[in-house]
Copies of this chain bind each other. A is one copy, B any other.
Amino acid sequence: MAPRADAPVAIVTLTSDFGTRDTYVGAMKGALLSIDASLSLIDLTHHIPAQDILGGSYALRQGTDRFPPDTVHLAVVDPGVGSERRGIAIDDGRHRWVGPDNGLFSHVLRQRAARVHQLTNPDLQAKVVSPTFHGRDIFAPAAAHLATGLDVSAVGPVVDDAICLAQITSQRQGNELVGSVLHVDHFGNLITSVTTQDVQALGAVAQIVIGRTTITGLSVTYADANPGQPMGLIGSGGHLEVSVRGGHAARELDVGVGATVTITGTGPA
């Protein structure tokens, strides 16, 4: 076990589609702590739908912003484990990221001057690597070493063609903006691809159409609507969200991921 002394606390977050019934997450944590017992391990979520890379990418984008500088984000949604797909580590100048090169880190690759390296250094891997569990045997050890101060360049050669998924954005046509539902949260809120910036460019919001429902204007918070009433608002992640006060919008409006949302603006102020 590593002495703690004056060393700062290094944080590793974990995100996966492993669920919490098995001990796969526990095994990854064991591998992390066997390299540095003083790591602070924080679960983002392990309930990404199985093999849903887009869902994992969304979770990483929404859940990581508030962590302090130097945090390492370990993410494993990995349908291609054991195949030719690469493992990568990324340093974006603020946080580090470790996992499969399958698009999971698209938002990091897209938005920042990211340094990407392939995980090939055998000294940073388990002695025996299971072909079905790189999370435990390759990604967790790499994440632990990065968290304790290793530079991302030490994991292996530079990668300049990491896989970056096309971003789901919104299309503007005059006063109309067409987006789609990216995520349905635990409360049934419908979180869309329409951003604060998109909405601001429209001027004031006249109406929002989603499924068979038309909503007039934009609310500020859930309590602005009457119980049971649908509303649109800018959610905590900076996206337009359609909610039902005290209810479950996805069920009550019969709308899910991928559904179209159309916002009509009053024109720029």
Chain A residues with a Cβ under 8 A of chain B? 1-11, 13, 18-24, 26-27, 29-31, 33-34, 37-38, 40-47, 50-51, 59, 62-71, 79-83, 130-133, 136-137, 183, 185-187, 220-224, 233, 235-236, 241, 246
Interface pair B20/A9, CB less than 8 Å apart: no
Interface pair B21/A37, CB less than 8 Å apart: no
Q: What are 5 inter-chain pairs, A to B, with CB distance below 8 A?
A: A1-B69, A9-B38, A20-B43, A21-B185, A133-B236
Interface pair A1/B8, CB less than 8 Å apart: yes
Copies in the complex: 3
A65 with B20, Cβ < 8 A, contacts A5-B5, A132-B236 known: no
Q: Shortest Cβ distance from A217 into chain B, in angstroms? A: 15
Q: Tell me which residues across on chain B come within 8 A of A7, comparing CB atoms.
A: 3-4
Q: Shortest Cβ distance from A73 into chain B, in angstroms? A: 10
- The listed residue (B34, B62, B82) touching A67 by CB distance below 8 A is B34
Interface pair B44/A23, CB less than 8 Å apart: yes
A131 with B220, Cβ < 8 A, contacts A34-B66, A68-B34 known: yes
Given A22-B62, A27-B65, A33-B40; 9 other pairs, CB 8 A cutoff: A1-B11, A5-B5, A24-B186, A26-B42, A33-B42, A34-B66, A82-B220, A82-B223, A132-B241
